[in-house]
Structure 1
Amino acid sequence: MIDPFKHATAIRDRGRLTIGVLAGWQLYAGTIHTLLRPILQGIYAAARERDCNVLMACGVVSSFSPETRAAWPFLSSEVDFVPVGPWNTDGLIVIAPHQGAGDMARYLEEVLAAGHPVVFAESAENRPAISVDNENGIFQALSHLKGHGHRRLAFISGGLGWQGDSRERLQAFLTGCEKFGLETEQRLMAYGGFSTPGGYQAMRQILASGVPFTAVVAANDESAVGAIQALQAAGLSVPQDIAVIGFDNRFEARNQVPPLTTIDQPGHDIGYQALKLMLRRLNGEGDASTMVRVPARLVIRVSCGCPHDAIITCALDEMNRSEEAQEPSVVKQQLIQTMSEAVFTGVGQLRLETIHTQCKRITSAFVASLEQREAGPLQTAFGDVLQTVRLLDEDAHAWQNAVTTLKYWWPMLVEPDEVESYRAEVNAWLDQARIAISECAQTQFLHYSARQDTLTQQLSLMSAELAETLELAQIQRIINQYLPALAIRHAQLVLFESNDDNPVGWSVFPDTSGEYQSSLQRFPTQQFPPPSYYPDDQAFHLALLPLTIHRKPAGFVVFDAANLAPCLAVLRQLTSALERIRLYQEAAEGRRLAEEADRMKSRFLSTVSHELRTPLNLIVGLSEMQLKGSTADVRRSVEKIHTNAQHLGHLIRDVLDLASSDAGQLRLTCEPLDVGEALQIVIETGRQLANDKGLAWRTEISPALPRIWGDRTRLQQVTLNLVSNAVKFTSRGEVKLSIYMEGNHVIIAVRDTGLGIPMDEQAWIFNE
Structure 2
Amino acid sequence: MNPTIKDVAQKANVSIATVSRVLNNLGGYSDKTRQKVNQSIKELGYQPNAIARGLINKRTQTIGVLFPDVSSSFSSALLQGIDEFAHDRNYSVVVCNTDKKGSRTLKYLQLLREKQVDGIIFSSEVLKKEYYEVLESMGIPVVLVSSKTDFAKVPYVKVDDYQAVYDAISYLIAKGHRNIAMISGTEGDPNAGTPRIAGYRKALEDHGISFDNGNIVYGDFSFSSGCTAMEELLLRTTGATAVFAASDEMAIGALSVAAKHGLNVPEDFSIMGYDDLQLAQMVNPPLTTVRQPLHDIGMIASGKLITMIETEEDVSSMTVPHSIVERQTVRSLPSR
- Whole-Å Cα distance in 2 between the matches of residues 237 and 214 of structure 1? 12
Report how far residue 303 of structure 1 moved: 0.5
Alignment of 1:157 onto 2:184: yes
- Whole-Å Cα distance in 1 between the matches of residues 210 and 234 of structure 2? 16
Amino acid at match of 1:84: L
Report how far residue 134 of structure 1 moved: 2.0
3-state secondary structure, aligned to 1:275: helix
Q: Assess if the C-alpha contact under 8 Å between 2:289 and 2:326 holds in 1.
A: yes
- Whole-Å Cα distance in 2 between the matches of residues 70 and 52 of structure 1? 29
Picking from 164, 171, 192, the partner of 1:137 is 164
Could you tell me which residue of structure 1 aligns to residue 29 of structure 2? none
- Whole-Å Cα distance in 2 between the matches of residues 255 and 222 of structure 1? 12
Amino acid at match of 2:244: V
Picking from 288, 301, 304, the partner of 1:274 is 301
Amino acid at match of 1:38: A
Alignment of 1:233 onto 2:279: no
Q: Assess if the C-alpha contact under 8 Å between 1:23 and 1:95 holds in 2.
A: yes
Q: Assess if the C-alpha contact under 8 Å between 1:55 and 1:84 holds in 2.
A: no
- Whole-Å Cα distance in 1 between the matches of residues 56 and 269 of structure 2? 56
3-state secondary structure, aligned to 1:55: strand
Could you tell me which residue of structure 2 aligns to residue 190 of structure 1? 217
Could you tell me which residue of structure 2 aligns to residue 118 of structure 1? 142
Amino acid at match of 2:91: N
- Whole-Å Cα distance in 1 between the matches of residues 56 and 67 of structure 2? 24
Could you tell me which residue of structure 2 aligns to residue 170 of structure 1? 197
Instruction: Mark the CA change 1:73 to 1:113 in structure 2 (over 3 Å): closer, same or farther.
Output: same
Q: Assess if the C-alpha contact under 8 Å between 2:144 and 2:156 holds in 1.
A: yes
Could you tell me which residue of structure 2 aligns to residue 88 of structure 1? 116
- Whole-Å Cα distance in 1 between the matches of residues 204 and 271 of structure 2? 16
Alignment of 1:305 onto 2:305: no
Amino acid at match of 1:94: F
- Whole-Å Cα distance in 1 between the matches of residues 162 and 67 of structure 2? 23
3-state secondary structure, aligned to 1:246: strand
3-state secondary structure, aligned to 1:203: helix
Report how far residue 128 of structure 1 moved: 1.3
Amino acid at match of 1:121: V
Could you tell me which residue of structure 1 aligns to residue 62 of structure 2? 18
Alignment of 1:44 onto 2:72: no
3-state secondary structure, aligned to 1:41: helix
Unpaired runs of at least 5, structure 2:
1-50
Per-residue displacement from partner, 1:183-205 (whole Å, max 9, x unpaired)?
Answer: 43111101111011111111222
Amino acid at match of 1:88: Q
- Whole-Å Cα distance in 1 between the matches of residues 234 and 105 of structure 2? 42
Could you tell me which residue of structure 2 aligns to residue 485 of structure 1? none
Per-residue displacement from partner, 1:594-629 (whole Å, max 9, x unpaired)?
Answer: xxxxxxxxxxxxxxxxxxxxxxxxxxxxxxxxxxxx
Report how far residue 176 of structure 1 moved: 2.0
Q: Assess if the C-alpha contact under 8 Å between 1:142 and 1:180 holds in 2.
A: no
Report how far residue 136 of structure 1 moved: 3.2
Picking from 87, 91, 95, the partner of 1:57 is 95
Q: Assess if the C-alpha contact under 8 Å between 1:86 and 1:92 holds in 2.
A: no
- Whole-Å Cα distance in 2 between the matches of residues 286 and 193 of structure 1? 33
Report how far residue 266 of structure 1 moved: 1.0
Report how far residue 244 of structure 1 moved: 0.7
Q: Assess if the C-alpha contact under 8 Å between 1:239 and 1:305 holds in 2.
A: yes
3-state secondary structure, aligned to 2:193: helix
Report how far residue 161 of structure 1 moved: 2.1
Instruction: Mark the CA change 1:183 to 1:213 in structure 2 (over 3 Å): closer, same or farther.
Output: farther
- Whole-Å Cα distance in 2 between the matches of residues 58 and 157 of structure 1? 26
Instruction: Mark the CA change 1:291 to 1:179 in structure 2 (over 3 Å): closer, same or farther.
Output: farther
Amino acid at match of 1:95: S
- Whole-Å Cα distance in 1 between the matches of residues 324 and 101 of structure 2? 30
3-state secondary structure, aligned to 2:131: helix
Instruction: Mark the CA change 1:295 to 1:23 in structure 2 (over 3 Å): closer, same or farther.
Output: same
Matches within 5 A, 1:406-485: none
Report how far residue 73 of structure 1 moved: 6.8
Per-residue displacement from partner, 1:286-309 (whole Å, max 9, x unpaired)?
Answer: 46xx43111111111000127xxx
Picking from 195, 208, 211, the partner of 1:181 is 208
Amino acid at match of 1:173: Y
3-state secondary structure, aligned to 2:202: helix
- Rg larger in 1 or in 2? 1
Q: Assess if the C-alpha contact under 8 Å between 1:26 and 1:71 holds in 2.
A: no
- Whole-Å Cα distance in 1 between the matches of residues 134 and 263 of structure 2? 48
Could you tell me which residue of structure 2 aligns to residue 723 of structure 1? none
- Whole-Å Cα distance in 2 between the matches of residues 88 and 82 of structure 1? 10
Report how far residue 41 of structure 1 moved: 1.9
Instruction: Mark the CA change 1:39 to 1:150 in structure 2 (over 3 Å): closer, same or farther.
Output: same
Amino acid at match of 1:251: Q
Report how far residue 45 of structure 1 moved: 2.3
Amino acid at match of 1:18: T
Instruction: Mark the CA change 1:194 to 1:73 in structure 2 (over 3 Å): closer, same or farther.
Output: closer
Report how far residue 105 of structure 1 moved: 5.3
Q: Percent identity?
A: 30
- Whole-Å Cα distance in 2 between the matches of residues 228 and 22 of structure 1? 30
Q: Assess if the C-alpha contact under 8 Å between 1:72 and 1:84 holds in 2.
A: no
Instruction: Mark the CA change 1:174 to 1:111 in structure 2 (over 3 Å): closer, same or farther.
Output: farther
Per-residue displacement from partner, 1:398-426 (whole Å, max 9, x unpaired)?
Answer: xxxxxxxxxxxxxxxxxxxxxxxxxxxxx
Aligned residues: 275
Matches within 5 A, 1:176-575: 176-282=203-309, 283-286=311-314, 290-305=316-331
Q: Assess if the C-alpha contact under 8 Å between 1:22 and 1:57 holds in 2.
A: yes
CA RMSD of aligned residues (A): 3.2
Instruction: Mark the CA change 1:221 to 1:85 in structure 2 (over 3 Å): closer, same or farther.
Output: farther
Larger relative contact order (CA 8 Å, sep ≥ 6) = 2
Runs of 4+ in 1 over 6 A off after TM superposition: none
Instruction: Mark the CA change 1:55 to 1:85 in structure 2 (over 3 Å): closer, same or farther.
Output: farther
Q: Assess if the C-alpha contact under 8 Å between 2:229 and 2:254 holds in 1.
A: yes
Q: Which has the higher helix share?
A: 1
3-state secondary structure, aligned to 1:136: helix
- Whole-Å Cα distance in 1 between the matches of residues 121 and 55 of structure 2? 19
Could you tell me which residue of structure 1 aligns to residue 73 of structure 2? 34
3-state secondary structure, aligned to 2:234: helix
Q: Assess if the C-alpha contact under 8 Å between 1:21 and 1:95 holds in 2.
A: yes
Unpaired runs of at least 5, structure 1:
1-8, 28-32, 61-66, 99-103, 307-768
Q: Assess if the C-alpha contact under 8 Å between 1:45 and 1:272 holds in 2.
A: yes
- Whole-Å Cα distance in 2 between the matches of residues 136 and 266 of structure 1? 15
Q: Assess if the C-alpha contact under 8 Å between 2:125 and 2:147 holds in 1.
A: no
